[in-house]
């Protein structure tokens, strides 16, 4: 290894900022979302989703509209930064959903069509590691990093400022505060050598929802807390190419409108994700996810394709690349 090759290793570590390849659709983030990187690293994700189902993908409570069929094209942009909190690694991020959705709902033999477009509710995210290696404050730390068994504490908060029309059920913004708390876990299985890394990852989380007091013309929409468990088995195929098997389980989240309660969710979904590091700055992820359905009309049905590009950088690495005229 020549004396400068460590810079390439470190640059590759910026890929962890690709963690922001999140999507509210199916309320699931891909595997490798909560890997940690060099303190000071930055990331800008751009995520496209094409989704269909009987629930509004912009709504993380996954309120089901029986006999409905929605099509959504959703994009998300954001910004994330790695920093240290004491000796622990931490991340702060903001992500802004946008896009359009249209759908038909059939009720009593009549079909109603709705559509919406615009910006959704921006979400703030904060995560701090509580179990696992200390923050990677310098490049030697990056070189020696192995997650082992790592656990973070996570808090998300969505700001209810997205596009909202109280006259229709289908909206981009949700017109209420909501968020989640969770504990992302990364469990390293075997060697931590690019090309051979394997992880088992979990994200147990609880979504909490405020009331929407202007739902469909002034009604009150309440949603119970929803428990979500995401699981990913990820594995490198080569140093730059990896894949994951994804599973999600949702339960709870029973919605009521003016006190009339609906059904609580209890669904399982799964998917596949492939990731590729295009270069030291750019990561590509593609995936497909779907709920595992029964024939019940009240059960959540969604599926979707996702493509994400995440641009990551660190001033130190960029400086080194300038010196090397890369």
Partner 1 sequence: MKKPSITLIASLVAALFAVAPPVHAQQAKRPNIVMIVADDMGFADLGSYGSEIRTPNMDALAKAGVRFTNFYTHASSSPTRSMLLTGVDTHLNGLGNMDEWTAPNQWGLDGYEGVLNNRVATLPQLLKGAGYHTYMVGKWHLGKNPDQIPAARGFERDFTLLDGAASYWDMTNFTAAAPKTVFTENGRYLTRLPEDYYATKTYTDKMIGFIDESRADGKPFFAYVAHQAPHDPYHLPKDWRNRHVGEYDKGWDAVRQERLKKQIELGITPAGTKLAERMWFIPDPVVLAPASRAILGKKMELYAGMVENLDHHVGRLVDHLKSIGEYENTIFIVFGDNGAEGTDLFKMIAGSPGSRDYLWAAANWSQTNPNAWGDPGSYIGYGPMWAQVSMTPFSQYKGWVAEGGVRNALILSGPAVKRPAGSINHGLMHVADFMPTLLDVAGTSYPKSIAGKDLPPLAGKSWGPMLAGKVDSVRTDKDYLAWEIFGNRAVRQGDWKLRWQWKPYGTGEWELFDLKADPVERSDLAAKQPDKLKAMVALWDDYARTNRVILPSRGPFETLVDVLPMRVPDDPGFPPLIYKRQFVPPKDMMADPKP
Q: Is 1 in the site for partner 1 (CB under 8 A)?
A: yes
Q: Is 174 in the site for partner 1 (CB under 8 A)?
A: no
- Minimum gap (Å) between residue 40 Cβ and partner 1: 14
Q: Is 139 in the site for partner 1 (CB under 8 A)?
A: yes
Rg (CA), the chain: 20
Q: Is 187 in the site for partner 1 (CB under 8 A)?
A: no
Nearer to partner 1, 160 or 194 (CB): 194
Cβ-proximal residues to 11 (8 Å cutoff; 6+ apart), any chain: 280, 281, 314, 317, 321
- Minimum gap (Å) between residue 196 Cβ and partner 1: 8
Restricted to residues 222-261, the positions that interact with partner 1 (CB under 8 A) are 239
Single out the residue of 6, 119, 249, 305 in contact with partner 1 (rule: CB under 8 A): 6
- Minimum gap (Å) between residue 77 Cβ and partner 1: 32
Could you tell me if 144 and 26 are in contact, meaning their C-beta atoms sit under 8 angstroms apart?
Answer: no
- Minimum gap (Å) between residue 14 Cβ and partner 1: 15
Measure CA of the first residue to CA of the last residue in the chain; give whole Å: 18
**How many C-beta atoms lie closer than 10 Å to residue 83's C-beta?**
15
Single out the residue of 146, 213, 319, 324 in contact with partner 1 (rule: CB under 8 A): 146
Nearer to partner 1, 143 or 272 (CB): 143
Q: Is 278 in the site for partner 1 (CB under 8 A)?
A: no
- Say how far residue 255 (Cα) sits from the centre of its chain: 23
Q: Is 195 in the site for partner 1 (CB under 8 A)?
A: yes
Nearer to partner 1, 1 or 260 (CB): 1
- Minimum gap (Å) between residue 232 Cβ and partner 1: 21
* Helix orientation angle between 315-323 and 5-13, rounded to the nearest 10 degrees: 140
Size, binding site for partner 1 by CB under 8 A: 20
- Alpha-carbon torsion 256, 261, 267, 271, what sign? negative
- Minimum gap (Å) between residue 1 Cβ and partner 1: 6
Q: Is 9 in the site for partner 1 (CB under 8 A)?
A: yes
- Give the Cα separation of 227 and 206 in Å (integer): 5
Q: Is 319 in the site for partner 1 (CB under 8 A)?
A: no
Could you tell me if 243 and 235 are in contact, meaning their C-beta atoms sit under 8 angstroms apart?
Answer: yes
Nearer to partner 1, 161 or 323 (CB): 323
Phi, psi of 139 (to 5 degrees): -70, -40
Nearer to partner 1, 110 or 322 (CB): 322
**How many C-beta atoms lie closer than 10 Å to residue 49's C-beta?**
23
Single out the residue of 193, 261, 272, 323 in contact with partner 1 (rule: CB under 8 A): 193
- Give the Cα separation of 48 and 99 in Å (integer): 9
Phi, psi of 142 (to 5 degrees): -65, -45
Residue 97: beta bridge partners? 76
DSSP state of 40: T
Q: Is 10 in the site for partner 1 (CB under 8 A)?
A: yes
Positions touching partner 1 (CB under 8 A) are 1, 3, 5-7, 9-10, 138-140, 143-144, 146, 191-196, 239
């Amino acid at each position: 290894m020549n004396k400068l090759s460590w810079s390439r290793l470190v640059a590759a570590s910026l890929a962890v900022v690709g963690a922001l390849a999140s999507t509210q659709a199916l309320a699931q983030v891909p595997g490798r979302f909560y890997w940690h990187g060099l303190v000071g690293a930055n990331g800008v994700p751009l995520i496209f989703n094409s989704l269909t189902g009987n629930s509004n993908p912009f709504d993380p409570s996954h309120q089901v509209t029986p006999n409905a069929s929605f099509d959504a094209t959703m994009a998300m942009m954001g910004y994330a930064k790695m920093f240290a909190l004491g000796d622990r690694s931490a991340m702060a991020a903001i992500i802004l959903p946008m896009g359009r959705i249209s759908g038909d709902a059939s009720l009593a033999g009549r079909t109603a069509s709705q559509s919406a477009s615009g910006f959704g509710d921006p979400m703030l995210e904060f995560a701090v590691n509580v179990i696992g290696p200390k923050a990677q404050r310098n490049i030697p730390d990056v070189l020696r990093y192995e997650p082992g068994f790592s656990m973070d504490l996570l808090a998300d908060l969505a700001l209810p400022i997205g596009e909202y029309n109280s006259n229709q059920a289908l909206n981009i913004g949700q017109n209420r505060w909501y968020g989640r708390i969770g504990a992302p876990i990364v469990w390293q299985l075997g060697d931590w050598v690019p090309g051979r890394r394997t992880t088992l990852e979990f994200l147990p989380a609880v979504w909490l929802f405020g009331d929407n007091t202007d739902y469909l013309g002034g009604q009150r929409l309440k949603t119970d807390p929803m428990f979500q468990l995401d699981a990913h088995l990820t594995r490198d195929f080569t140093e730059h190419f990896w894949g994951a098997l994804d599973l999600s389980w949702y339960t709870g989240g029973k919605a009521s409108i003016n006190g009339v309660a609906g059904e609580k969710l209890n669904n399982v979904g799964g998917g596949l994700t492939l990731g590729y590091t295009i270069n030291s700055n750019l990561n590509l992820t593609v995936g497909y996810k779907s709920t595992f359905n029964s024939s019940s009309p009240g059960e959540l049905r969604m599926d979707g394709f996702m493509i994400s590009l995440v641009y990551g950088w660190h001033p130190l690495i960029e400086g080194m690349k300038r010196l090397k005229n890369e």
